[in-house]
Amino acid sequence: MAFYTHGGVPAQGSTGASAEIRAELDSIAASFVLLGALTADRAIVNNSGGTARTVTAGTLALPYNFAIAGAAITLTATGTTNVTLPTSGTLLATNGSAADLTSFPTLNQNTTGSSASCTGNAATVTTNANLSGDVSSSGNTTTIGSLKVTNGMIANTTIDLAAKVTGVLPTANGGTGIAYFTAAGPTAARVYTFPDAAMSVGYLNIPQNSQSAAYELILTDSGKHILHPAADTTARIWTIPANGSVAFPVGTAITFVNETLGGVITISITSDTLLFTDGTTGSRSLAASSIATALKITTTKWIISGSAGLT
């Protein structure tokens, strides 16, 4: 765009007419109008058509890239300064070291890239912040509402585990490996602690497993009672398997019940030891209307006792 182009009159070395000279001067005056008025603390920019220059009034809109070589860009305002960033592409690029933000704005877009050093006031992220590198903060506290760390580590900080961490922290990672749950009690909430897998939670009652045939105990019979119903008048053999076959934990208790009119039950053991209260060992007979309980006291030894019908 040319602000002024001379009209060729008067010609060089010739006498100029008054009207011609006034017309050229008018053209020169009109070109100064295109430069824009001089106003304090304003920027002059080309208009969208490239036909004139105007003075900014408040917002400075630059439709193309804006590059500064050498000196930094400083934003100074007495109130809130809003910087609208694009929703895609690179929001902030530094040539060399990480960006040093000494007074953080509110970030309302995703931020990605390498490590950033926060040396001033705390940063507030109003939406997602995708941090692909290290994040360090020195100075005032950086508050994060929700934080998900995948294959990473949080170091040199204090976290309120009681209020901010859920799940079970394994002992290998510095936790206890113990899970907790809270249930409503008679007057207030109660906290129950579950031990590790080496221990079991028992029953409030003694669940029943009814059998009317020869039967060999299985691991889920622990803590239950095996019932021989009155309708089955046939004698049956119930077997405690060897520890090498079914490894009941030490402390397992299983009760045998032979209902009235039921056939005699023989309680046998495969290869381990079944100890009676009188010191003898071996299979035992349980008559009708009788009850007996076997308790595992070592890896390969059980002790059994019961009512008078146990012989």
Domain residue spans in the chain?
97-151, 208-306
Question: How far, in Å, CA of 105 to CA of 121, rounded?
Answer: 9
Identify the three-state secondary structure at position 304. Answer: strand
Which pLDDT value is given to residue 108? Answer: 47
Which pLDDT value is given to residue 103? Answer: 46
Q: Of the CATH numbers 2.60.120.640, 3.40.630.10, 3.40.50.1100, 3.90.650.10, which one belongs to the domain with range 208-306?
A: 2.60.120.640
Question: How far, in Å, CA of 213 to CA of 238, rounded?
Answer: 8
* Sign of the torsion angle spanned by Cα atoms 152, 178, 244, 215: negative
Which pLDDT value is given to residue 3? Answer: 60
Choose among 200, 222, 221, 218: nearest CA to 209. 221
Which pLDDT value is given to residue 115? Answer: 45
Question: How far, in Å, CA of 155 to CA of 236, rounded?
Answer: 65
Question: How far, in Å, CA of 142 to CA of 119, rounded?
Answer: 11
What token pair was written down for 53? 């220059």
Q: What is the pTM of this model?
A: 0.43
Find out whether 280 and 290 touch, Cβ atoms under 8 Å: no
What token pair was written down for 50? 């490239």
- Please state the φ and ψ torsions of residue 182, each to the nearest 5 degrees: -110, 130
Residues in the chain: 311
Q: Give the DSSP H/E element, type plus range, for residue 55.
A: strand 53-55
Which pLDDT value is given to residue 266? Answer: 98
Q: Which amino acid is at 157?
A: T
pLDDT per residue as tens, the chain (311 positions): 556 667 777 777 777 788 878 888 888 877 777 666 677 767 777 777 777 777 776 666 666 666 666 666 666 666 666 666 666 665 555 555 545 544 444 444 444 444 444 444 545 555 555 665 666 666 555 666 666 676 666 666 666 666 656 666 667 776 766 665 555 555 555 565 555 555 566 778 999 999 999 999 999 999 999 999 999 999 999 999 999 999 999 999 999 999 999 999 999 999 999 999 999 999 999 999 999 999 999 999 999 999 999 99
